[in-house]
């Protein structure tokens, strides 16, 4: 039986990993680690989870252990954040390149300086080229559910890629709210054990992996396989969302989820926790002011859901991308990709980009409403002037 309990995002994620029956949990236990690993350690200690808990001396090593463990056929889980995640960067390529479906909770926090412990999506978005699937969640419940789904997606033989489940530090990691903890028996039916055939370190079946490829014999093909897997992941994510919905009665919509988009003229596009407040704003503007506005929540950043986004946004007049991150010298990471995806089409909407909520600065209902109303006013402009907007910067 599912039971609902008050949990923080961190604990909800840990419960997800427990229900996935992870077998190895490598962890760098010091800052910027999260409570997730504290809870995992407690699960292992109490016997609720039969797993190897491996404390190591750095995040780089944590990922190295995760790679090695997953390569032996063990389902592996780890978590990191901020500077720790950045420190893993090199090994993230290895996990993906070896096609090892490690799952990691990426708790989004700023990369210093200035050091804070507050949310910012820059740490995981910075990992976009490593070949990891990246899924952004907006609540403790979604984090819990998606950790479980992540294993099924990553371990699918059409995919075989590592998955990062991202949620914002403090705003999700430390908020405590009612979470339905899934039933173990149902999870076991939903998620069969990991039985890899492609890469397996087994003395009875010697295999060479991660070797030098000194000529140009197959590097390109190797990479293209990853690209194909990423493309395939789109379908698998949708599929898993459906199966999950059937099993547990909750669906998230696959790569993106939309709200009031059918007759919308303008839309807000965001990801993570900001989607909650944006949803409330859209509902209110629709109900009280009759503004034809919709919401697109980007759930998956890698693979980037270009087809879905084109379909949802093409006929709109204007879209504002609200994001808690920035690629310094360009704009928000999501905006840049979206602009590319909607390029050169006669029906493309006008795009604006709001850099907002950096370092955990509160993003209030009123601020999002202001952005939405502004967008609605601008919807018929010839061209968006100054499309990248640092909304909360004082002095602008």
Q: Which residues bind other proteins (CB under 8 A)?
A: 4, 6, 113-118, 170-172, 174-178, 273, 276-277, 279-280, 360, 362-365, 393-396
- What CA–CA distances, in Å, run from 192 to 72, 96, 152, 153, 268? 17, 21, 8, 12, 38
Q: How far is the CB of 8 from other proteins (least distance, A)?
A: 8
Least separation, in Å, of the C-beta of 268 and other proteins? 14
Q: Which is nearer to other proteins, 278 or 333 (CB)?
A: 278
Q: Which of 61, 73, 123, 126 is nearest to 98 (CA)?
A: 73
Contact call for residues 256 and 228 (beta carbons, < 8 A): no
Instruction: Give the Cα separation of 160 and 168 in Å (integer).
Output: 26
Question: CA 380 to CA 265: how far, in whole Å?
Answer: 10
Least separation, in Å, of the C-beta of 47 and other proteins?
17
State the nearest-atom distance from the C-beta of 99 to other proteins, in Å.
36
CB of 5 to other proteins, least distance (A): 8
| Shortest distance (Å) from residue 351 CB to other proteins | 24
H or E segment to which residue 105 belongs: strand 103-108
Nearer to other proteins, 219 or 390 (CB): 390
HSE (side-chain half, CA atoms, 13 Å) at 356: 27
Residue 341 CA, distance from chain mean position? 19
Residue nearer to other proteins on the CB measure, 119 or 303: 119
Give yes or no for a contact between 359 and 120, defined as CB atoms under 8 angstroms apart. Answer: yes
Q: Toward other proteins, which CB reaches closer, 178 or 193?
A: 178
Give CA–CA dist 319/298, Å, rounded.
13
**Would you state the structure tokens that stand for residue 152, as one six-digit string?**
């099924």
- The residue (of 38 and 378) whose beta carbon lies closer to other proteins is 38
Give burial (CB, 10 Å; 0-12/13-18/19+) of 106: buried
Q: How many CB atoms lie within 10 A of CB 158?
A: 14
- Nearest-approach distance from CB 390 to other proteins, in angstroms: 9
**Between 83 and 116, whose beta carbon lies closer to other proteins?**
116
Separation of first and last alpha carbons in the chain: 53
Question: Between 243 and 280, whose beta carbon lies closer to other proteins?
Answer: 280
Q: Which is nearer to other proteins, 284 or 348 (CB)?
A: 284
* 396 vs 390: CA distance, rounded Å: 8
In the complex, the smallest distance separating the C-beta of residue 141 from other proteins, rounded to whole angstroms, is 10
Nearer to other proteins by C-beta: 168 or 308? 168
DSSP letter for each residue of 10-36: HHHHHHHHHHTT--EEEE--STT--HH
Q: How far is the CB of 113 from other proteins (least distance, A)?
A: 5
Helix or strand run (H / E) with residue 294 = strand 293-298
What's the closest the beta carbon of residue 365 comes to other proteins, in angstroms? 6
Q: Which DSSP category does 357 fall into? A: -
| For other proteins, the closer CB: 70 or 258 | 258
């Amino acid at each position: 039986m599912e039971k609902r309990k008050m949990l923080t995002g961190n604990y909800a994620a840990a419960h997800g990993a427990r229900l996935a029956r992870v077998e190895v949990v490598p962890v760098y236990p010091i800052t910027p680690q999260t409570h997730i690993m504290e809870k995992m350690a407690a699960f292992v200690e109490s016997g609720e989870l039969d797993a190897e808990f491996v404390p190591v001396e750095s995040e780089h090593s944590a990922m190295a252990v995760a790679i090695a463990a997953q390569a032996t056929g063990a389902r592996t889980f780890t978590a990191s954040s901020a500077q720790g995640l950045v420190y893993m960067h090199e090994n993230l390529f290895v996990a993906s390149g070896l096609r090892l479906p490690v799952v990691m909770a990426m708790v989004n926090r700023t990369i210093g300086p200035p050091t804070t412990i507050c949310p910012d999506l820059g740490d995981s978005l910075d990992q976009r080229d490593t070949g990891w699937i990246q899924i952004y969640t907006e609540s403790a419940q979604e984090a819990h559910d998606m950790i479980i789904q992540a294993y099924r997606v990553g371990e699918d033989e059409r995919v075989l890629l590592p998955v990062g489940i991202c949620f914002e530090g403090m705003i999700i990691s430390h908020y405590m709210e009612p979470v339905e903890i899934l039933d173990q028996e149902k999870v076991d039916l939903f998620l069969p054990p990991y039985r890899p055939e492609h890469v397996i370190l087994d003395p009875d079946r010697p295999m060479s992996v991660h070797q030098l490829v000194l000529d140009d014999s197959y590097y390109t093909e190797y990479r293209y396989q990853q690209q194909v897997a990423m493309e395939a992941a789109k379908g698998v994510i949708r599929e898993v969302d459906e199966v999950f919905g059937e099993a547990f009665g909750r669906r998230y919509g696959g790569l993106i989820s939309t709200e009031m988009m059918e007759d919308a003229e303008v839309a807000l596009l965001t990801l993570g926790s900001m989607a909650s407040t944006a949803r409330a704003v859209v509902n209110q503007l629709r109900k009280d002011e009759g503004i034809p506005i919709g919401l697109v929540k980007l759930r998956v950043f890698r693979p980037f859901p270009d087809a879905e986004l084109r379909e949802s946004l093409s006929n709109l007049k204007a879209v504002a991308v609200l994001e808690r991150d920035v690629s310094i010298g360009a704009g928000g990471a999501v905006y840049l990709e979206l602009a590319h995806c909607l390029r050169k089409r006669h029906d493309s909407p006008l795009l604006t980009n709001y850099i907002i909520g950096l370092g955990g600065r509160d993003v209030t209902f009123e601020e999002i409403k202001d952005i939405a109303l502004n967008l609605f006013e601008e919807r018929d402009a010839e061209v968006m002037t100054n499309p990248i907007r640092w909304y909360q910067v004082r002095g602008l």
